[in-house]
Structure 1
Amino acid sequence: MAKTQLNVRVDEVTARAARERAGARGMSVNKYIEELVRQDVGEAGQTFVQAAADFMKQYESVFAEEFGPEREGHR
């Protein structure tokens, strides 16, 4: 995959943290940030879907009672 250069400005504390964490993982800052973004994109979608599925499973009976076809007046 072709690489695109992206220039980002951050404060010195953030820059230092990125350098330290990348170094601790044995990778470049570029690779570290690239992995963080990929992780965020993948996890955000998966986390939302999993949370929604868990919510629906937990409250399935409540939804069925409230919105199910057996509800009086909605047959």
Structure 2
Amino acid sequence: MIKIKKGNIITIYYNILINNKIKKLFFKGEIINIKGKKKIKSIKLLKKCNNIFIKRIFFLKQNNIINIIKNN
């Protein structure tokens, strides 16, 4: 596991099931919050797209998360 902290920009690759097919998606954003310990650790990411802010919460120990890449 990589060392992440508030303010880092990361990309999370994850699988999602759509119409009985597994799709690989990604979300790139800045970490604005880290909560929890070990098994229940969650991070909140913020992304700006066309003057719209998108917040997303990921739980790090989920089976659908494939990879986390630190961008800065």
Task: Give TM class, smaller chain.
Answer: under 0.3
More strand by share: 2
TM-score, structure 2 as length reference? 0.18
Q: Which has the higher contact order (CA 8 A, sep 6+)?
A: 2
Is the radius of gyration larger for structure 1 or structure 2?
1
TM-score, structure 1 as length reference? 0.18
More helix by share: 1
